[in-house]
Every structure is written in C-alpha cells, then in structure tokens.
Amino acid sequence: MARISSDRFAGLLFILFGGGFVFGAGAYDMGTAAQMGPGYFPRLLGGLLVLLGIAIFASVKTSAGRPSAGSLPWRAILAVLCGVAAFGLLLKPLGLFLAALLLVGLSSLAQQRPRWGEVLLSALVLAGAASVVFVWGLKLPLPLWPAFG
Amino acid sequence: MDLLANLALGFDTALSLQNLLYCFMGVLLGTAVGVLPGLGPLSTIAMLLPMTYALPPVAALIMLAGIYYGAQYGGSITAILVNLPGESSSVVTCLDGYQMARKGRAGAALAIAALGSFFAGTVATLIVAAFATPLTELASSFASVEYVALMVLGLVGAVVLAHGSLLKALAMIVLGLLLGTVGADVNSGTARFAFDVPELMDGFNFVVVAMGLFAFAEIIRNLESVEAGQTVLQKVGSLWPTRAELRAAWPAALRGTFLGSLLGVLPGGGAVMSSFASYSLEKKLAPHPEEFGKGAVAGVAGPESANNAGAQTSFIPLLTLGIPPNPVMALMIGAMTIHSIQPGPQVMTSNPDLFWGLVASMWIGNGMLLVLNLPLIGVWIRMLSLPYRLLYPAILLCCAIGVYGMQNNPVDVLLILPFAVLGYLFHRLGCEPAPLLLGFILGPLLEENLRRALRLSRGDPTVFLTRPVSLVLLLLAAGLLLAVLLPKVQRGREQVFVEED
C-alpha cells in the first residue's frame, strides 16, 4: 500500500469484507423477509458494507487524500504474533513455565536491540510469577511442566 | 420505600466479606494496570477478565466494575504525572492536570480528581438506583420491534460519537455486525462462515475479539513509536488542596457530575464524551478562561467528576435494557454471558442480589478508590517508571494465559492474532475499532429480534414505523445521523475531538 491513500485502502478493505460475506452467505438459505433463512441477514449487511466501502473509496479527493499509510512495523507485528502463537501451540506439550519463557523471548525480538540478559531475567521472573498466580493461586488447570519431563 | 429496601439488599450483598475483598482486588488491580501508560480501561478489563472466570457471578461482576473504576483512575494518574493519556477519557485531564503537576501541585490535582470522582460516584450510584426500576418496567413492555429500534439508535449513537469519518464508523459497525453472524445460526442451526473449524461454531469469542482489536493492537502501536524517555514527575507535593483550590473545584465537580450522569446514559456516550463536554463547559463558564491549559483546577475537577459519573450511569442501559451504550459495557455484557446471565430487564427480577449488589458495590468501589489511591501514590509512580520493553511481554503473557484458560483450547489463542493485525491496520487506516466491537456484541441480538419482529408482522417492514415507541426511537436515530451531517455540527464535532489527536 505504498502509493495508495489510507482512505482508499480502507474503502477497498470494506468492499472486500462485504463482498466476502455476501459471497459466503450464498451457500446459505436466503428465505423471505417473513421467514428469514440463515443467509438473509449476512447478505443484507454484506451488501450494505460494500456500498459503504464504495462510498469511502469514492469520497477520497485525488489530491487531498490522507497521506499514504507508509510501511508496516513488520518486526514488531511478527515478533508479537510468533510469540503468542508459539505459546498457544506449545503450552500443552511444554507446560506453562517453558511456554511463558518462549513467549517473552520471542516477543522481545520486537525491539531493535533486545538486551538479552535483561530479557532472560524478566522471562524467568514472569514465567515464575505466572505459574504462581495462575496455576497455584487461581488454580487454572494448566500443565506446569512438560508431560515427560 | 422500595428503593431503600433494594439498596439495603444491595449493601447486604456487596458488604459480604468475600465481595468486599473482590471489589478491593478489582480496584487495586484495575488501578495498577490502568496506570501503565498506553493501557486503557478496555484493554485492562480484557486483560484482567480471565481472573474472574472462577468466581461466582456476583463477585465477578463486582470485581470487574472495580477494575473499570480503578483503570479509569489509573489513567488519570498517568495523565497528571506523565502527561500521557492512558485512555481517551483522561486526555482532557492531561491538559490542566499535568500543568498543575508542573507547578508542584500534582498531589492536589490527584486528590481533587479522587474527591471529585468519589462525589460523582455517589450521586451517580443514587441515580442508577432511582432510575433502574422504572426503566426496567418500561423495558419489559418492549417487544422485538422496539428492541430492534433501540439497537439501531444505540449503534447510530456510537457512530455519531466516534471521532473521525462518519462513513468509516458506519462501515465498522456493519463489519462488526457481520462478524457477529459467524457461528451456528440460532433458528436453523446452520454453521455460518465457520469453515469447518469446530471452534468457530459458537462464533468468535468476544474476549478474543476485544483483546486482539484493543490490547494487542495497542501493543504493536506502542512498539512502533520508539520508546521516548518519559519524564515522570517524582515530586507530588502536598496531597491537600488549598482552600482556594477547593473553592474552584467544587462547583466544577457539581456541574461535571450532572453532565456526566446525563451523557453516560446516552447511546455511544459514557466516560469519554462526558469529560470532553465538561471541559468545554467549564472553559465557557470560567471567569478566567485563559487559565485553562495552564493548570486550572476546574479543568481537572469537572472532567474527572464527569467521566466517573458517566462511567457509572452507562450501566443503566446495560442493566435495564441489556444494551451496552459503549464498548466497555459491551465487554461487561460478554462477562455476564460467560457467567450465563442474560443481560436485560429480567436481571433485576431474576437476580436481584446481583443487580443491587452491583449498584451498591459501585459506591463502595469509589470509596475504596479514594482511601486506596492517595496513600499508594508512591507505588503507582514506581509502576509508571517501568520501561515499556519490560511491560509488553507481561501484558501479552497475561492475555494469552487468560484466553487459553477460557476453554483450555490453543485455537482460541491463535484466533486473537488475525484480530490483532486487523486492529493495528484499522488504526493505521483511521478507523476506530470501538464501533466494531459494539456491532459485534449487538449483532446476534439484532438479528434475532429483527427476524422475530418480521416473522410476527409477516414480513411487513412498516411495523417499525407504525408502533409509536419504535417510531420515536428510529426518528431519534435518523435525527442524530442528520445532525452530524449538518456542517455546523460537524465542525463542532471536529473541535470536540481535536484535542485528542
């Protein structure tokens, strides 16, 4: 989205979402107004969203649009997403303590120059605190350690 | 003297040792998290919500309400001491609160904010108690036609009060409504947009959506802006306001309370709206308006009272009609459904202890804020100086554990991620995520009532215009929408929110 104004992009996004819902709802029974099927409401709103998207897209004045959105902070986005995904997927096999270490470590990659000593220390503290608060204190049924540790 | 009997029942419930304890915990945790820069009440509640899963429903709601007030006061602390609004309702507090702090009157500003909030909380609690019963009676006479009209009014209200482009806010609401349709259809049981993912059969979980759109998107946003060395004002000064300060504060607090109580009830209203409105009112009424922005006491007392009053009276539509007037209340609805309480007029009759206990706990919570926060101010200052690079992994961890703990299902954690990206993207595109959340929560309710209304009318849509209550509500909605389109109002609306950007 380097050259496109953010308003145009927003319009396109809404058109895409609305269209997607209209298209997806095609598989469901439409019904009538008196006996609405599961497809009625989504199709109605999806159509409305497409119209709104078109209006947003069209209302951009070619020269006076908001400046383009610029580049995305990929590093931060990826680090946060990977950290949380890894935590979710590995909590069961690894247990809370190790999964928490992993989450803190991976999400620290979002910083330009992580101070690794500090990261390790805070990871240990956070993992320990989370284990105490959630497993011991709030008694959430989470595994604390790997199953075959 | 029904009111007194009801309040007695409420205090009886709220004053049980267990509930007092949870109220206290809520206020404490809410302040502690809310004081962290960049964490608003929505993110705070979303993050702390999992702690209440295991509690009995009354205790859970009391704790959540406590978290809400705590988070709001925490935001004010941040605003006054660091000039960083943790949330939009304390943006206004930054203007004069921080200036007072720079003059060495931080302590007085904090005390005035706390006292004003407590006063406003007391009045607002009484208002909630007084209006709850008649409104509930009115609401029980509503059929699905009226409900549809009411929800339309609520959604339009959210659009009008969102800042930024009207079209975008409308589109966000519609998108929210659409996301609400994901999952099994109530009437036919057809799985809609579930893509054979079993976890999607019940639809997106609202905690997942709220966390992704607000908490996670906020973190990515904060990480992007390079961590600037914030200067926390360490010198708080005397906590006691001088006589002159008190004299300037109390009329402003009184007006703020009145204004906030009124605006809190309106759809789309609540804390943010109230504080902005009160600030402009005080500025207009002040004998020396040029002092505003330079540490005017009334500029702290008014908005702080208003936002607390608004925060409380916004519980009225939630508790009596089952319709959330703003995103925070939408989260509360979600919390109630987790404890299998269907919000709406029947709550008062089916769970009177919950209803009145919650009302009473509002006042108790506000009292605790007052006693708790002033002595603990040193602790909050220390929390404020924690660098963000240490904070955000902790927030992520709390959120991830909370979502996982809902159903012990890793898929729930993964489902946050698309919403996080979407939330960040919307921020970049200038689209407010709050209307989307409101639409998402109201979507299933709206669809169900719309279908029922049209089934009863045999598909005749004029039914919404022939029933008087519904007609009035829809006309109000249309009027609101038209009013925003008028150039004069539009300019005023931009002005109200201009200080926020």
Work out the mean pLDDT of chain A and round it to a whole number: 84
Round to whole Å and give the CA distance between B138 and B126.
Answer: 19
Mean pLDDT of B254-263: 87
> Which residues 6+ apart lie within 8 Å of B438 measured at CB?
B154, B155, B158, B173, B176, B324, B326, B327, B330
Nearest to A103 among B393, B414, B417 (CB): B393
Q: Grade residue B320 by pLDDT with cuts at 50, 70 and 90.
A: confident
Highest mean pLDDT among A59-73, B182-196, B417-431: B417-431
Instruction: Annotate B115-138 with b (16+ C-beta within 10 A) or e (fewer).
Output: bbbbbbbbbbbebbbeebeebbee
Question: pLDDT, tens digit, for every residue of B163-204?
Answer: 677 888 899 999 999 999 898 887 777 888 877 777 787 788
Interface of B with A in 341-400 (CB under 8 A): 389-390, 392-394, 396-400
Whether B42 contacts B328, CB under 8 Å:
yes
Q: How many Å lie between the alpha carbon of B456 and the closest alpha carbon of chain A?
A: 8
Interchain contact B240–A (C-beta under 8 A): no
Mean pLDDT of B443-447: 87
Tokens of B434: 């709050």
Question: pLDDT, tens digit, for every residue of B97-107?
Answer: 888 888 888 88
Closest C-alpha to B227, from B14, B348, B386? B386
- Asked whether the predicted pLDDT for residue B50 surpasses 80, the reply is no
Long-range contacts from B95-99, C-beta under 8 angstroms, 24+ separation? B95/B279, B95/B292, B95/B293, B95/B299, B95/B499, B96/B292, B96/B293, B96/B294, B96/B295, B96/B296, B96/B297, B96/B299, B96/B300, B97/B299, B97/B300, B99/B293, B99/B294, B99/B295
Range name among B4-18, B29-43, B267-281 with the lowest pLDDT average: B267-281
Q: What's the pTM value of the predicted model, to 2 decimals?
A: 0.83
Question: What percentage of residues in chain B have a pLDDT greater than 70?
Answer: 91
Mean pLDDT of B311-338: 83
The pLDDT assigned to A83 comes to 93
Number of domain units in chain B: 1
- Asked whether the predicted pLDDT for residue A22 surpasses 80, the reply is yes
The pLDDT assigned to B2 comes to 74
Residues of B in Cβ contact (< 8 Å) with A111: 223, 389
Range of the domain at B42: 2-498
**Residues found in chain A:** 149
The pLDDT assigned to A63 comes to 46
Interchain contact B417–A (C-beta under 8 A): yes
Beta bridge partners of A31: A36
Whether B278 contacts B256, CB under 8 Å:
yes
The secondary element (H helix, E strand) that includes residue B219 is: helix B217-224
Whether B271 contacts B327, CB under 8 Å:
no
Residues of A in Cβ contact (< 8 Å) with B417: 81, 84-85
The pLDDT assigned to A92 comes to 86
Interchain contact B244–A (C-beta under 8 A): no
- Asked whether the predicted pLDDT for residue B227 surpasses 80, the reply is no
Round to whole Å and give the CA distance between B291 and B231.
Answer: 24
Cα radius of gyration rounded to whole Å, chain B? 22
Terminal CA-to-CA distance of chain B, rounded, Å? 48
Work out the mean pLDDT of chain B and round it to a whole number: 82
Mean pLDDT of B144-151: 88
Round to whole Å and give the CA distance between B126 and B131.
Answer: 9
Do B425 and A42 make contact, defined as CB atoms within 8 angstroms? no
The secondary element (H helix, E strand) that includes residue B183 is: strand B183-184
Nearest to A34 among B414, B429, B454 (CB): B454
The pLDDT assigned to A19 comes to 92
Residues of B in Cβ contact (< 8 Å) with A114: 389
Q: How many Å lie between the alpha carbon of B135 and the closest alpha carbon of chain A?
A: 30
Helix (H, G, I), strand (E, B) or coil at B86: coil
Question: pLDDT, tens digit, for every residue of B457-500?
Answer: 888 888 888 888 889 889 988 888 887 777 655 555 555 544 44
Round to whole Å and give the CA distance between B94 and B77.
Answer: 9
Q: How far is CA A66 from the centre of its chain?
A: 25
> Which residues 6+ apart lie within 8 Å of B100 measured at CB?
B80, B106, B108, B109, B295, B297, B300
Environment class of B251 (CB within 10 Å of its CB; exposed 0-12, middle 13-18, buried 19+): middle
Range name among A83-87, B19-23, B51-55, B169-173 with the lowest pLDDT average: B51-55
The pLDDT assigned to B235 comes to 66
Nearest to B400 among A35, A48, A84 (CB): A84
